[in-house]
Structure 1
Amino acid sequence: MSSTAGRWPYPSLIAHRGAGLYAPENTLAAVRLGAAQGFRMMEYDVKLTRDGVAVLLHDDTVDRTANGRGRAADLSLAELAWLDFGAWHSAPYAGEPIATLHSIAAYTLANDICSNIEIKPTTGQEDATGEQVALLAKALWASAATPPLLSSFSEAALRAAMMAAPELPRALLIAKDIPADWRERAADLQCMGLNLNHRYTTKPMVDAMLEAGYSVAVWTVNDPSRARELLNWGCHAIVTDEIHAVSPMFFS
């Protein structure tokens, strides 16, 4: 494991979108399943409804993961509450409602589970989403021993989050190739770390980030041997869909 583990106050294994492969992603059911498999940290995507409620959803639209159509940003929470966010995945989850950040905070805090909140703004709402999600996270986790980690691919959203709640830790998500100016970007946003795509993650890059004092989390790692390799390199955490193969029971 990493010699810089003190910089990372979170578990080393993180369930992606809850247990988003084996249950409907970004739902309370997925988070419950991940917890049942021993995961003590969840990653999930958060954006805003038309009426400004923070809900869990990856895409701009509900088309893929619900029995409705349209952008979440154009729908109120009351309208989203009519939709089924589970049946698309499998019959046992039919009727699963949309999850709010309030409900996920209540469950994770009650069960001592850490959170990586990915700020996933609807296109064009980067600033507002970053600000509102950060303020809400600050309030919901005010008494928590470990604050949520805020991450985003959107530097505008992360900047807004930094301005709204500078005390919450942040990580810059990198989609593909790691940019040459990663140090400047991370420093400008006062990030504690970077969350990298494992397909583009190399040991020299991990070494450079650790040497610079940043935490390194890597997604989405579903091969146990790759997960072990990355942890042996000193990466602080692995984000995985494979809650059985890449399990806290085998990676301590």
Structure 2
Amino acid sequence: MGKTFLLPSYAIIAHRGNSYYYPENTMLSIKNAVKSSVSMIEIDIHMTKDHELVVVHDEKIDRTSNGKGRVRDYTLRELKTFDFGTWKGAHFSNQHIMTLKEVFNYLANENICLLIELKCPHKYPNIVSILLDEIGHSSFPKNQVIIQSFSVKSLIQIAQFDTQISLGLLVKRRNFWLQNLKLKRYRKIVDFINPHYKSVNSRWIAKIHKLGFKTFPYTVNTFQTGLKMFNYGVDGIISDRPELMIDIKDNIIEAGT
């Protein structure tokens, strides 16, 4: 069986949830992204000392919690004692780190896709197999999941284990020229090439599409840049400000009717 991921037209992807207004990667941020009617939510995962997949961007919890240290040095129970909301504002207190399972359970009945970024996979033994196992045992539909990473090695490993799941290669701006030379090599591995938005132009988008890839540039947060990306012909936009990108999308659709 081949891949069955159904890509919405002009996908709006809420980066770490609705993270411009709410503490990133928390249930509050995800709930408000769902309310804004986005096409997709992007989250980041690391792994705890007791091999639980948790939703957090940084390898350390210092920036986004009242704790300190590396995710991998804590058990899930220990991480749950920290506040992951107050750093964004005192009124966001009592937001706790989520597991990937909790996100799957919350979104199981929502008509929404999930873009999962696999962070620092080389630092977490067996994280690929644990991730695929959680996806396989979840009630969240597999054809509404994309896994993305900067690690080509990890994406190759995922493709070897599961030929049905959709994959995306993230490309840093400083590595863009090098990865661009290797695009043809990735065609049998990944479905999406997701670069920093400053690397994108209409010529590159045309090349990507000709090779059979889709693309979600990151992280687009202004009206001018969002409009430019849509005019270039991107397939979706990863943004901290999904509601602003939805407004741009709606204006483009309305102007075309």
Contact in 1 for aligned 2:205/2:233 (Cα 8 Å): yes
| 1:147/1:141 CA distance change after superposition, 3 Å | farther
Determine if contact 2:5/2:143 at 8 Å carries over to the other structure. no
Give the CA RMSD over aligned residues.
Answer: 2.1
1:134–1:10 CA distance, 2 compared to 1 (3 A): farther
Task: Determine the structure 2 residue equivalent to 1:161.
Answer: 158
Report whether the alignment pairs 1:175 with 2:172.
Answer: yes
Give, in whole Å, the separation in 2 of the partners of 1:145 and 1:128: 20
Distance 1:211 1:100 in 2: 38
Identity of aligned residues (%): 24
Pairwise CA distance, 1:14: 0.5
Would you say 1:9 and 2:7 are equivalent positions? Answer: yes
The residue aligned with 2:22 is: 23
Hey, what does 1:67 align to over in structure 2? Answer: 66
Q: Which deviates more from structure 2 when the two are superposed, residues 224-233 or residues 106-115?
A: 224-233
Cα gap change, 1:53 to 1:235, in 2 (>3 Å): same
Whichever residue aligns with residue 97 of structure 1, its letter is H
1:186 aligns with 186
Distance 1:43 1:228 in 2: 21
Runs (4+) of structure 1 exceeding 3 A deviation are: none
Cα drift, residue 183 of structure 1: 1.6
Give the deviation of 1:200 after TM superposition. 1.0
Q: Secondary structure at the match of 1:195?
A: strand
In structure 1, C-alpha distance between the alignment counterparts of 2:38 and 2:24, rounded to whole Å: 15
Count of paired positions: 243
* Other-structure match for 1:212: 211
Scaled by the length of structure 1, the TM-score of the pair is: 0.89
Question: Are the structure 2 counterparts of residues 99 and 145 from structure 1 closer, same or farther at C-alpha, using a change threshold of 3 Å?
Answer: closer
- Pick which of 57-66 and 10-19 moved more: 10-19
Paired AA for residue 135 in structure 1: D
Mapped contact 2:5–2:144 kept (Cα < 8 A): no
Match of 1:3 in 2: none
User: Could you tell me the TM-score, scaled by structure 2's length?
Assistant: 0.87
Q: Which residue of 2 aligns with 1:104?
A: 103
| Alignment-derived partner of residue 33 in structure 2 | 34
Give the letter aligned to residue 156 of structure 1: K
**Partner SS state of residue 207, structure 2:** helix
Contact kept? 2:55, 2:99, Cα under 8 Å: yes
2: CA distance between counterparts of 1:180 and 1:218? Answer: 14
Letter in 1 for 2:129: E
- Show structure 1 runs of 5+ residues with no match: 1-5
Paired with 2:32 and 2:248, the residues of 1 have a C-alpha distance of 17
The residue type paired with residue 196 of structure 2 is N
Whole-Å separation in 2 of the counterparts to 1:224 and 1:65: 27
The alpha-carbon deviation at position 41 of structure 1 amounts to 1.0
8 Å CA contact 2:121, 2:151 repeated in 1: no
